[in-house]
A and B are shown apart, each in its own frame.
Chain A
Amino acid sequence: MKNNIETILEELYLIDISLKERENELKSIILKIIETKPDIKINKDFKEKLQQELLSKITQIKVNNYWVNKKLSFFQIFWYIFWTVWLACFWFIIFQNNFKNVLDINPIPDKKIEKWALTWIPQSNTFSVAKEEVIWNEMTRWAPKIESSAMMADMFTEYIQEEYHFTFIGELNIELDWTVPTFKKDSGENIYFSKRNLEIETNNKNILTVALKWWKDWFISMPESQKKKIIDVKLQNPKLGYTNVYHLINGQNKEYFVPCIIFEVIKDKTPNNFYQNEVIVPLIKEIYIYDENGSIIWISQ
């Protein structure tokens, strides 16, 4: 209170310095006025009632403001829609890139497959594992001859050995929980397929191993060269299909029409000298197995 009086007096002296001469009189009356300041008690019921009134008013204003903002902020609504659409497009693109390689396999009716087998396979000389099979067999026949000749071996050390680095972009998630029929060709001249159930490879890891390492068997007997050229091949977009496979067992060539996974080669990310458009992995266990290192062993003898 003393400070308060002092402040009031100082303010008064600033207005009229002559008042300082009557400081005691002023102090006395100011003190009396301050001491008799009324101490009015507020009614608690009234305070609570007013609180309730204010609370309902606050609720009402908040609700009103919410709707007013909703109504008036057209630009905001436009902005929300714009971002929502943009985000939807963004996630759609991401989804496309990440999940388009996930295979959605639906059972193919047997009759449809049989029709394919009878109409499409005879003309498919350049498409399927069959061609690769033939090339592979030719190369293995040539390999012993190359190894027996020292001159040829020296000559071959000079050639540029190509190494393929296959990479699969995406995620392989094949669930073959249905019985996949395969067809076997019975006689030579008349193309005729009989239905036969073979054991199907369903392990995604094994399928990918074949897709990425199949090429190694081509060079199994070739001499190692000092010069190597690495060719990166990118695979994507696996699809379910059927292909014919020639399988040599005990000197007899057996032909099957079997389910397969066809991996598309990304051409714009692959050197031009890689001629293939697809890499085909037949899904039957009878023609290949895997060793402990994940390498493929073809069962052809």
Chain B
Amino acid sequence: MSDIEIVLLCQENKLENFWVLYEKYVWEIYNFIYKKTFDTELCEDLCSQTFLKALDKIQTFKVENDANFRAWLYRISYNLLIDNYKWKKEILNINEILELWYDNDFAKNLDNKNKLQEVLKFFETLKPKQKEILMMRLWDDLSYKEISQITGESIDNCKKIVSRTLANIPVTYMQIFFILLLSEPILWKII
């Protein structure tokens, strides 16, 4: 049964079918919020609010040709995140992130640690909007259309942001390298 079929049942007051949608998306939404808040308590609060609001407003969900329940659910949590200004602005250090985000097996692997460090450094160079859209596309596996529905940006704009961000990667890395090089006297000596 598709999401839309389940939504239609819910709109006929057969709300017990909402469980299927809850089981399907609770982890995704939790993940989506957590990556932006780094706070378990806040994440749980916003996740609860997302599903309670979705249940409350499910009658208003317009079942049209391009209707997408998943994007609608993300949009609710995204709006809640915007409303709640407790987002942690600072990027945590790698140890904190390893502790909060990953299990022990991942954290113990040195290769993973290096990869993560590299990715986080890359993220540091990005503007919030760029980082947000890139994370949605690569980590949350959302399509450009879904990202557009969630963020309110046009599809073309979302595509341009992702392409330009990725197109600038090598240059950005080179910049970082030179900055590191210039800031480390020992490396100067080696060169």
Contact = CB atoms under 8 A, between A and B. Distances in A.
Nearest to B139: A37
A43 B40 contact: yes
B6 to A, nearest CB: 14
Interface in A48-73: 50-51, 53-54, 57-58, 61-62, 65-66
Given A4-B141, A46-B44, A53-B48, A12 B166 contact: yes
Contacts, number: 104
Interface in B4-44: 13, 15-16, 18-19, 22, 26-27, 30-31, 34-35, 40, 44
Nearest to A18: B167
B137 A8 contact: yes
A46 B40 CA distance: 10
Contact of B52 (A15, A34, A53): A53
Given A12-B163, A32-B119, A65 B144 contact: no
B31 A38 contact: yes
Interface stretch (B80-88, B110-118, B183-191): B110-118
Contact of B101 (A39, A46, A66): A39
A57 B55 contact: yes
A29 interface: yes
A25 B169 contact: yes
Contacts of B122: 29, 33
A54 B166 contact: no
A36 B167 CA distance: 20
B138 A40 contact: no
A40 B13 contact: no
A51 B112 CA distance: 35
B159 A47 contact: no
Contact of B118 (A32, A40, A42): A32
A11 B141 CA distance: 13
B106 interface: yes
B76 to A, nearest CB: 14
A16 interface: yes
A68 to B, nearest CB: 10
B51 interface: yes
Interface of B: 13, 15-16, 18-19, 22, 26-27, 30-31, 34-35, 40, 44, 47-48, 51-52, 55-56, 97, 101-103, 106, 112, 115-116, 118-119, 122, 134, 137-139, 141, 144, 159-160, 162-163, 166-167, 169-170
Given A39-B106, A40-B30, A66-B13, 6 more contacts: A12-B162, A15-B163, A40-B34, A40-B101, A54-B55, A62-B13
Interface of A: 4, 8, 11-12, 15-16, 19, 22, 25-26, 29-30, 32-43, 46-47, 50-51, 53-54, 57-58, 61-62, 65-66
